[in-house]
A and B are shown apart, each in its own frame.
Chain A
Amino acid sequence: MAPPQHDEPRTAATVTASRSLVPLPLPPTTEPRPRDPRLSDVDEWGRSERVRELAHRIYQPIYERWFRAEWEGLDRIPSDGGALLVANHAAAIPSDAPVIMHGIETEMGRPVYGLADHFFRRVPGVGTLWARNGGVVAHPDNAYRLLREQGQLVLVFPEGTKGPAKSYAERYRLRRFGRGGFVEIAMRAGVPIVPIAVVGAEESMPTLVRIPALAKLLRTPYFPITANLLAFGPLGAAVYFPAKFKLRVLEPVTFDVPPGQARYSRSRIMEESEGIRQRIQEALYDMLCQRRSVWFG
């Protein structure tokens, strides 16, 4: 197969079309592979199973005793093949991502890669730690490769930073689901979307006020003053309130569209995106109706 010539004029159309050409599958090869003297187990995404295992050991008591996470419908997450997990996002320093990732990894034994804003990659220490624990920059190419070619579980919060940035008064009210990019990726990768509704994260680190000037100065997406900071002082930047976590996995959504296309119908994408948002929102309201106590569930 002749590779595409690189020299067509770069109109908007070719640029978008070339996006889809991204991953070229390689024919299976039986040739001897060159020697690969690796020393660490860090994979191409920056994840290390050794680090992850250590993190599991440290996080297990927090997961089990502090948040007392409780799952409902975990069997709806496919036990093999790629799937895009989509959840609501909350808490000033989001506590939901570690709970979901830890929960699925320990209870199902499958790795979960968490997509996050590229902001994390810029933060010294945090960025590396996040990558070693399965964090990946939320880029369509990254998601496509993980889902389509490697058949992994990928967690994404379509609200983006708008979720954790919202104040306590707006808790459990979902923000806009981006521009529906997550639906498009799932369609292109040919994987189901598994919506997850999370209750508890909002109360684990509620934002009282935001200081936009500081956020601008520090070049962070937002700068919150949390109830934790008032309660525990500086320690509050790291200590969560022991809110009871409940997670409900909803029925997976599949799309009967051919995978691997450059573009998908925008109206269909927005429709599906809004539908998933609705379902998570309704599940949240339902779970909140049944909740008697923030701390005991």
Chain B
Amino acid sequence: MGRRVLVTGLGTFWGGRLAQRLEADPGVDVIIGLDRVDPMVKLERTEFVRSDENYSILSRIVSATRVDTIVHSFLVVDSTQMSSRTLHEINVIGTMNLFAAASSPASTVRDVVVKSSALVYGASSKDPVWVTEDHSRRTTPRTAVERSLVEVEGYVRDFAVDNPHVTVSMLRFSNVIGPDISTPITKALELPLVPSIAGFDPRIQFVHEDDVLRSMMFVLDEQVPGVFNVAGDGLLPWSEVAALCGKRRLPLPFIGDRMAAGSLRRLGVDLPPELLDLLRYGRGIDSRRLRQTGFRYEYTSAGAVEAFVKAERLRASIGGREPAYEYRDDVEAFFKHSPAVVRDRGR
């Protein structure tokens, strides 16, 4: 019998793409996706359930569908997209309800994969160059998104302690970059001048969006419990990242950078506080634990940035983030079901 998977945040970048990969996996029988909004990508056999953002109906879904695997990809790490109240609802309350449902006595859940972020480590001058999974941060989280993720990880840990029969894998991703994803960092790199903080040239790490999806599929398949950092090889100075993009930097003042970021926001450039911390001190996460379980990356940090730059140049010529080929529902339905189409099947 194949797996029955519940994907949270089906309408997000990650949820939809993960569901696509799960659909391609013959070992997966049922895929159920939850979100407030419609998925952005075309899905064939994933069942979409519209829910509110904090999943109050979740325990009924979990018990009715008897899912054995939960992929929790609906954690917001980009604080520019919503108010901190909504962010709290989605991240903290959503996770709380999700794990409340998953730990009910009738629950059939055996595997849980959580997509967390390296933001839980923060970025401070006291941090080591490489942070490992066991690192306990020295500064209290200052921003809403960091606070919420730390709380989320607390729920995940509690769930893992209370349910030792469940394999819980939590992945902490470094800064994701790639051809398709849009984050505060990619938006900053798309500007004519790349914002930086005067006097600081921190080393920053990236992970390619494909490696993110591959690593999530990897822990799903291999069922490795634990916390894992996920990041491409190498640390790049921010100046080099700008150079890879073929751009110059625009230094913000090192005192009052938050105020400067505030006025930039009015111009439509949103640099959230956690990004300002990163542009000051950088962050390197040690990704060796996941590598030891056998996972191999396809991109280094620099390679991931390069993939982004190539896609960006292509967009500059042809415009838009939309894929060149658009999937047409009715056309595909025609090919599949119309008696007029001559099919080779059965010959």
List the interface of chain A (C-beta within 8 A of B).
Answer: 1-7, 9-10, 15, 18-19, 21-24, 26-27, 31, 33-40, 42, 44-46, 118-119, 121-128, 136-137, 139-142, 145
CA distance A24 to B286 in the complex (A): 9
Q: Is the CB of B134 within 8 A of A22?
A: yes
**Nearest 6 CB-CB pairings of A with B:** A124-B199, A18-B134, A7-B160, A141-B128, A6-B227, A121-B125
* Identity of the chain B residue whose Cβ is nearest the Cβ of A42 in the assembled complex: B237
Contact segment of B29-37, B293-301, B314-322: B293-301
Q: Is the CB of A136 within 8 A of B225?
A: no
For A123, list chain B residues within 8 Å (CB): 199
CA distance A26 to B287 in the complex (A): 11
- Since A23-B288, A141-B128 are in contact, a sample of 7 more A-B pairs with Cβ atoms closer than 8 Å, ordered by chain A residue number, is A2-B225, A3-B225, A9-B161, A37-B302, A44-B129, A44-B234, A127-B200
Give the distance to chain A from B259, nearest Cβ to Cβ, in Å. Answer: 16
Convert B123-159 into 0s and 1s, putting 1 for each residue whose CB lies closer than 8 angstroms to a CB of A. Answer: 0011111101111100000000000000000000100
Q: Is the CB of A38 within 8 A of B225?
A: no
Q: Is the CB of B292 within 8 A of A3?
A: yes
Q: Is the CB of A7 within 8 A of B157?
A: yes
Q: Is the CB of B306 within 8 A of A37?
A: yes
For A119, list chain B residues within 8 Å (CB): 125
For A26, list chain B residues within 8 Å (CB): 288, 291-292
For A1, list chain B residues within 8 Å (CB): 292
Give the distance to chain B from A160, nearest Cβ to Cβ, in Å. Answer: 14
Task: Decide if B254 is an interface residue (CB 8 Å cutoff).
Answer: yes
CA distance A7 to B170 in the complex (A): 11
The number of chain B residues with a CB under 8 A from chain A is 54
A interface SS class:
loop
Q: Is the CB of B288 within 8 A of A24?
A: yes
CA distance A252 to B135 in the complex (A): 32
29 inter-chain pairs at a CB distance below 8 angstroms, sorted by A residue, are A3-B225, A6-B157, A6-B168, A6-B170, A7-B157, A21-B132, A21-B134, A22-B132, A23-B288, A24-B292, A31-B296, A34-B297, A34-B299, A35-B299, A35-B300, A36-B233, A38-B234, A39-B240, A39-B243, A40-B239, A42-B240, A119-B125, A124-B197, A124-B199, A126-B199, A127-B200, A128-B201, A139-B129, A142-B129
For A42, list chain B residues within 8 Å (CB): 203, 236-237, 240
Q: Is the CB of B200 within 8 A of A128?
A: yes
Task: Decide if B244 is an interface residue (CB 8 Å cutoff).
Answer: yes
Convert B213-238 into 0s and 1s, putting 1 for each residue whose CB lies closer than 8 angstroms to a CB of A. Answer: 00000000000111110001111110
Q: Is the CB of B129 within 8 A of A36?
A: no
* Identity of the chain B residue whose Cβ is nearest the Cβ of A17 in the assembled complex: B134
From A6, A118, A121, B160 is in contact (CB under 8 Å) with A6
Q: Is the CB of B130 within 8 A of A145?
A: yes
Task: Decide if B289 is an interface residue (CB 8 Å cutoff).
Answer: yes
Q: Is the CB of B132 within 8 A of A141?
A: yes
Task: Decide if B55 is an interface residue (CB 8 Å cutoff).
Answer: no
Give the distance to chain A from B53, nearest Cβ to Cβ, in Å. Answer: 27
CA distance A77 to B292 in the complex (A): 35
For A24, list chain B residues within 8 Å (CB): 288-289, 292
Q: Is the CB of A34 within 8 A of B292?
A: no
Convert B107-137 into 0s and 1s, putting 1 for each residue whose CB lies closer than 8 angstroms to a CB of A. Answer: 0000000000000000001111110111110
From A33, A38, A137, B129 is in contact (CB under 8 Å) with A137
Q: Is the CB of A40 within 8 A of B199?
A: no
For B288, list chain A residues within 8 Å (CB): 23-24, 26
Q: Is the CB of A2 within 8 A of B286?
A: no
For B198, list chain A residues within 8 Å (CB): 124
* Identity of the chain A residue whose Cβ is nearest the Cβ of B135 in the assembled complex: A141
From B127, B226, B297, B302, A6 is in contact (CB under 8 Å) with B226
For B226, list chain A residues within 8 Å (CB): 3-6
Give the distance to chain A from B211, nearest Cβ to Cβ, in Å. Answer: 9
